[in-house]
Each structure stands twice: as C-alpha cells, then as structure tokens.
Structure 1
Amino acid sequence: MKKMMTWIMIMVLITGMMLTGCTKSADTGTPDTAEGEEAVKVALVVAGGLGDRSFYDSSNEGIERAKAELGIEARVFECRNDPSLFNDQLVQASQYASVVVVVGFEFYDVVQELALEFPEVNYIYVDNEIEGIDNLTTISYKENEGSFLAGAMAAMLTQENSIEGIQQSKVIGMVGGKDLPVIRNFKAGYEAGAAYIDPDVKVETIYAGDFEDPAKGKESALALYSRGADIVFQVAGKTGEGVFEAASEVGRFAIGVDSDQRYINPDVIVASMIKGVGLSIFESIERIQNGSFEAGKVYHYGIDENGVSLGYGTQDMKEIVTEEMKTKLEEIKGKITSGEIVVPEGK
C-alpha cells in the first residue's frame, strides 16, 4: 500500500512539472510564431542608407512593424550608394534570409540575376514592375494619384491670399531626384492635379541629379523660388532636405514626400505626399506567413489600397492647408477612386 501511494505521488509530481513546463514554453513573447516554429528571416537591402527620413526609412518601418506584429527576424543591408556593394550585399542577404526586400531602382538588373541563382528565396522588389520570374515579386505605387492631390493642394494654396508667404504667383515647383520613370509619374500627377484646380497654374520642375545630396536639393529649390514658385514639392529622398532649407531661407513653402515630413519643419512644410512603402512591405510579409502571397506577380498600391495619401502632420502644428481645402481634396480622392477623374501616368 505504501509503495502504491509513493508511485501515485511521483506521478502527480511529474504531471505537474510537465504542465508547468508547457505553460512557460507557450509564453514566448513572439507574435504569430508557433512553439518550435522557426521565425521567418527577412532581409532589407537598400541602395542608399537609413536616416533619410523618407523612402528608405519608410521601408524599414514596414520591417520593424513585421518584427513587432509577425515575429520575424530581420537584418538591414545598406549599400550607401556604392555600386560595388549592390551585388555583394544582395548575395549576403540572400544567404541569410528566405525573404529579401529590395529597395532602390539601382537593383533592377542585379535582382533579376540573383533571383535565378537563389530560386528558394522570395524577392520583393519595391517601386518597380517586373514579370516572368517566379520568385521575384514587385510592388508598384500609383504615385501619380497621390501627386494629383499634392498638385491640387499646391494650386489652391498659390491662389490663397490670406496665408502669409503665399503671393498668388500661380507658379509651383517640383524638385526630382533624377529623371526616372517613377519620378516622371510623380510629375504627371502633380501637373494634372494643379491643372484640375486652375489650368493657368504653371508647374516648374528641376531634376537635382541625386537622391542623397541636400546641397543640390537646396540649389534646385532656390532656382525654382527665384522663378516665382510659392511652393516646391520635393521628390528627391534625402536631397529633398535641401528643399526644406531653401524654403525656410526665402520664406516660402514646400511639400514632403514618402513619409509625413511636416515634423522636420512645420513652418514651411505644408503637407506630405505619403507613399505606403512600409505598409506594402508589411502586408507582403503577412501574406507570405498566411499563405496568400502570390509570388511573381505585381502588386499595385494606389489610393484604394492606402498606398498613397496626403499627411498634414499632427494637430499641434499650425494649419496651413485649411479645413475647406482638405474637404475639397477628399472630394477629389473620391472622384479618383470612382473613376470620374482619370489621373495620367508618367511611367
């Protein structure tokens, strides 16, 4: 009898220890990762570097969100605009991760080559359209739709005589990083949006020739302001920081790009044309995890997909774009999504 009671006590203790062990192992603190399941490894490869407060930082926001909400592991590979690193960094990323997110037009040729060399890797190439490679998926944005809103807003502002610094010049400007299809798509929408409000509004454009040189951005913006532009739309990545400096120096206005950049200088940045790079990357990783990802296709992000929009900063910032203007811009958004307004493309 004593022996039987001893065995019963031992079994109870063992069972309790097993239950306790199961409870601890279930509390991993890793979102959406089952016990014993290895986290998805994702690499982000950028042609430039983080810290641009625009395009590259927006892509990293998508990775950080996926780490927090989807439990992925991730590393960032920066090329710092050194062409000699493009291939090497992409190879290292491909050896590290099963999902490689590629950001930068500079990778157009090399990513297609490496996708064939690493057929087991899912490549997500941002801001381009490539078809015919099974493991290379591209994300294309309808920046022309977002820029149509930016152009309409700028045209409304340049006719507004109650805002200090606006001189009713009916001239607005744009500084592009380089003369590329994607930048021309911004330009096409910006010009069409301005013309929708007032066909007499003139749009001046200068290509700075660089995405990483604020000095060139400032020089380009100063040239546009000297031509009478009240507002300059920066579509130039880090180069665009020089546009903001120029606006502050001459007492004019600017429009940010890719991220909501008003916080940089809310006195001169009226709003930003936000491009949902981070959102599209997060949703791509989420699709891979839930099995709905269609490898090899082109995903499009426009107004309907929350891929492009206008950001006006936070409520504590002074209002430059009035509530009446915002209401008008919301009406225009509705007309774009309904098809009443067809926005021209530049790429």
Structure 2
Amino acid sequence: MKESKGKIMILIIILMLSAGVSYVLKINTNKENNQNNNLIKIAIVFNKSGLGDKSFNDLCYDGALKSQEELNIEFDYAQSNTSKEYETLCREYAKTNEYDLIIAVSGEEEDSIKKVAKEFTNQKFTIIDSKLELSNVSSISTKHSEQTFLNGVIAGLAISKQKGRVDDSVGIVLGKDLDYLKQGAVGFEAGVRYINPKIKTITAVVDDFSNPAKAKEISLLMYSKGVSYIQHIAGESGLGVFAAAKEVDKYAFGVDGNQNLLDPDYIVSTATKYANKIIYEEIESIVNNTWTSGRKELGLKDNVIGYTREGSNVNISNDIIDITEDIKKSIINKEIIIPSTHESLENWIKSNKYTKY
C-alpha cells in the first residue's frame, strides 16, 4: 500500500513539473481564433533586455505581429534572464516538436542555440546578430559598421562646420563588450573621422543592456569632458544616454528602431536596423517553403540598415544631409568600404578622407 502511494506521489510530481514547463512556454502567446491544425507556428526567445527596450527587441516583436496579421501564422514567445535559462527555453520549445521555426533574438546567446540546434537537427532555427554555421540554422547578421557610419558622418560634419570649436570629441556607449557592437563603434568613429580625422573618440561599456541609470552616469561624464555627440549601441540602457543629453543640453544618436521621437530636441538621428523586416521575411520564407539555412549578411544595399532623421527637431543643415546621402550612395556602390575592426581603422583613415566640402 505504501509503495502504491509512493508511485502516485511521484506521478503527481511529474505531472506538476510537466504543467510548469508548459506554463512557462505558453504564458506569452499570440493566437488568432483559428482552428486550422496546419497553421504555421513560430517560437521567439528574447534575452534579458526583452520587450520594452524601444529598440531592437520591440522591432522583432513588431515583425512577428505583422507576420501574424498578414501571413496567418501563430507565434509564442518567452524571455530569459540568464544564458542558462535561454538555452532551457529554446530546448523546451524544440522538444514540443510543434514549431516550424524557433527564432533566437540574441547574438550573445549563440552558444545556447548551437547546443540546442545540434540536439534537434530536424528543427529549424533562426538567430539574429550571429554568424553561426549549422545545417538547421539561418544566421542573420548586419553590417554594423555600415549601420552607424552615416551617423558618424553627420556628427563629423556638424562639429567641423562650427568654427571655434575646442571640444572636438564624440562618445560611444555600448551595452556590452560584444564583437558586433564593437563593429558598430568602429563604424561611427570611422564616419566621424572620415570627415575630420582630428576628432577624438571616447568609448565606454555599460555591461548591461537594461541599465539606463548607469548609461546616464557614463554619458554625463563624457559630456563633462567636452563630448557633444554620443552614439549609443546599448539597447534599453541607451535611454540613459538620451536623458543625459537632455540634462546638459547636448546631443545623442539612436539605434535600430527610430528613436528620434523619444527626445526629438536632443536626438539627431537614428542608425536604423529594420529587425522587424528581418523577422517578417524569415517567417515569410517558412510560409512559402523557401527558408534556407546558412549565413546571411545584410547591409545598406539591402535596405535593412541605414539612418533616419524623421521626427528629430535638431537643426542639421540641408548641405550636411546632402553630403551624407552622397556618401551613402558611395557605400552602396562599393566605392567606400568601411572598416569593421579597430586594427584596420587607423590605416583606413589615412587613406580615406572626405574632401568635397
């Protein structure tokens, strides 16, 4: 009798644990009232920064919503707080064998996806901001140095056209010390120094994508040292950069989704990355049965990255924008090849200088 009771208790515990896993995976779900069993199902896993960053993650979510509305798909999503949890969430989604595609919105979790994708070789995965190469993974990266370069051009021109400037320096605030973010930092500095190689750059790392308070402290220190323009590549932490710019009446640049409207009097422009378009097209390829694995790198010519002034009230002269647009065309035409590492930056600057203004 005792043995039977023990077995019953074990069964109850197993059922409770199973229910718990199901709850974690299904708590964030977007479903239409559709009884079609053949409906395409997508799972999306966000990292700690997650939704509400008014930037990259929110754009990815918007792309999934648009896919649901236009492509008649269903998607579930979850958010992790640690790398271990990220891996667990991806694995649990894969275990269900329900999802036509699992999307990892986090290049920094590449190792997690690598482990899970190797375990579930029949499951399709897409990872953003990664160059992972596996037969069941679509790895999409963007040319981060191209994305921020044109913001750098604007900052360089704005500084150079103001006579009597003694504070010839710009700042860059990164969320974490990650290779693809450092490429963005190189791109911004290259853009600034393509216009004026004498302008100095100060770079700092928050080491957290979700700490606006720390980013604000860092930015205030930069501004106090004479910096007038700061490019953030810091996720939600970038909101602290904007707050600092407003406090000391200086300027900042946004990233990914158009952030100009968040503080239109202090945000000059945004280095855009249309992650919503990337997500939509990946899901569309599943619907159309054209999805492919492998590495894909997108740049200005693909109209996925760029810059926008829309919504900004900061006064930038028309001739600065005209020059920026001309330089953009040169990048698309491969007349300008932007460096992506600090090692190559100095040599690049020596042989690349804008001379038409």
Report the Cα distance in structure 1 between the residues aligned to 2:161 and 2:245, rounded to whole angstroms.
Answer: 18
Q: Which residue of 2 aligns with 1:108?
A: 110
Larger radius of gyration: 1
Paired residue secondary structure (1:304): helix
Q: Which residue of 2 aligns with 1:13?
A: none
Paired letter, 2:137: L
2:267–2:314 Cα contact (<8 Å) kept? no
Match of 2:214 among 213, 216, 221: 216
Paired letter, 1:256: G
- For 1:150-161, list aligned pairs within 5 A: 150-161=151-162
Report the Cα distance in structure 2 between the residues aligned to 1:67 and 1:326, rounded to whole angstroms.
Answer: 37
Q: CA deviation at 1:36?
A: 5.8
Q: Deviations over 1:11-65 (max 9, x none)?
A: xxxxxxxxxxxxxxxxxxx9xx9x9672210111011220000121111121111
Q: CA deviation at 1:105?
A: 3.1
1:98–1:120 Cα contact (<8 Å) kept? no
Higher mean C-alpha displacement, 286-295 vs 110-119: 286-295
Report the Cα distance in structure 1 between the residues aligned to 2:112 and 2:305, rounded to whole angstroms.
Answer: 28
Report the Cα distance in structure 2 between the residues aligned to 1:143 and 1:87, rounded to whole angstroms.
Answer: 26
Q: CA deviation at 1:345?
A: 1.2
Match of 1:127 among 120, 126, 129: 129
Report the Cα distance in structure 2 between the residues aligned to 1:91 and 1:322, rounded to whole angstroms.
Answer: 52
Q: CA deviation at 1:77?
A: 0.7
Q: Which residue of 2 aligns with 1:320?
A: 315
- For 1:144-293, list aligned pairs within 5 A: 144-161=145-162, 169-293=167-291
Higher mean C-alpha displacement, 90-99 vs 299-308: 90-99
Report the Cα distance in structure 2 between the residues aligned to 1:326 and 1:157, rounded to whole angstroms.
Answer: 10
Pair 1:99 & 2:101 matched: yes
User: Structure 1: 5+ residue runs without aligned partners?
Assistant: 1-29
Q: Which residue of 1 aligns with 2:39?
A: 39
Report the Cα distance in structure 2 between the residues aligned to 1:120 and 1:40, rounded to whole angstroms.
Answer: 16
Alpha carbons of 1:182 and 1:54: their partners in 2 closer, same or farther (altered >3 Å)?
same
Q: Which residue of 2 aligns with 1:332?
A: 327
Alpha carbons of 1:65 and 1:255: their partners in 2 closer, same or farther (altered >3 Å)?
same
Q: CA deviation at 1:209?
A: 1.4
Superposition TM-score, scaled by structure 2 size: 0.81
Report the Cα distance in structure 2 between the residues aligned to 1:213 and 1:149, rounded to whole angstroms.
Answer: 26
Q: Which residue of 2 aligns with 1:14?
A: none
Q: CA deviation at 1:235?
A: 0.6
Pair 1:83 & 2:83 matched: yes
Q: Deviations over 1:300-344 (max 9, x none)?
A: 111011121112133xx5242332222111111110111111100
Report the Cα distance in structure 2 between the residues aligned to 1:61 and 1:322, rounded to whole angstroms.
Answer: 33
**Residue identity (%):** 31
Paired residue secondary structure (2:146): helix
Paired letter, 1:65: K
Paired residue secondary structure (2:202): strand
Q: CA deviation at 1:249?
A: 0.6
2:254–2:269 Cα contact (<8 Å) kept? yes
Report the Cα distance in structure 1 between the residues aligned to 2:193 and 2:162, rounded to whole angstroms.
Answer: 19
Paired letter, 1:195: R
Report the Cα distance in structure 2 between the residues aligned to 1:36 and 1:64, rounded to whole angstroms.
Answer: 19
2:152–2:192 Cα contact (<8 Å) kept? yes
Report the Cα distance in structure 2 between the residues aligned to 1:115 and 1:229, rounded to whole angstroms.
Answer: 44
Paired letter, 1:190: F
Paired letter, 2:271: M
Report the Cα distance in structure 1 between the residues aligned to 2:316 and 2:71, rounded to whole angstroms.
Answer: 37
Paired residue secondary structure (1:244): helix
Q: Which residue of 1 aligns with 2:304?
A: 307
Superposition TM-score, scaled by structure 1 size: 0.84
Q: Which residue of 1 aligns with 2:350?
A: none
User: Structure 2: 5+ residue runs without aligned partners?
Assistant: 1-31, 343-357
Paired letter, 1:303: L
Report the Cα distance in structure 1 between the residues aligned to 2:76 and 2:128, rounded to whole angstroms.
Answer: 17
Paired letter, 1:54: S
Report the Cα distance in structure 1 between the residues aligned to 2:248 and 2:165, rounded to whole angstroms.
Answer: 13
- After TM superposition, the runs of 4+ consecutive aligned structure 1 residues lying more than 3 A away are none
Q: Deviations over 1:198-246 (max 9, x none)?
A: 1111111111111110111101111111111101001100111110111
Paired letter, 2:317: T
Paired letter, 1:45: V
Report the Cα distance in structure 2 between the residues aligned to 1:143 and 1:135, rounded to whole angstroms.
Answer: 25
Paired letter, 1:300: E
Paired residues, number: 307
Report the Cα distance in structure 2 between the residues aligned to 1:140 and 1:89, rounded to whole angstroms.
Answer: 22
1:126–1:140 Cα contact (<8 Å) kept? yes
Q: CA deviation at 1:272?
A: 0.6
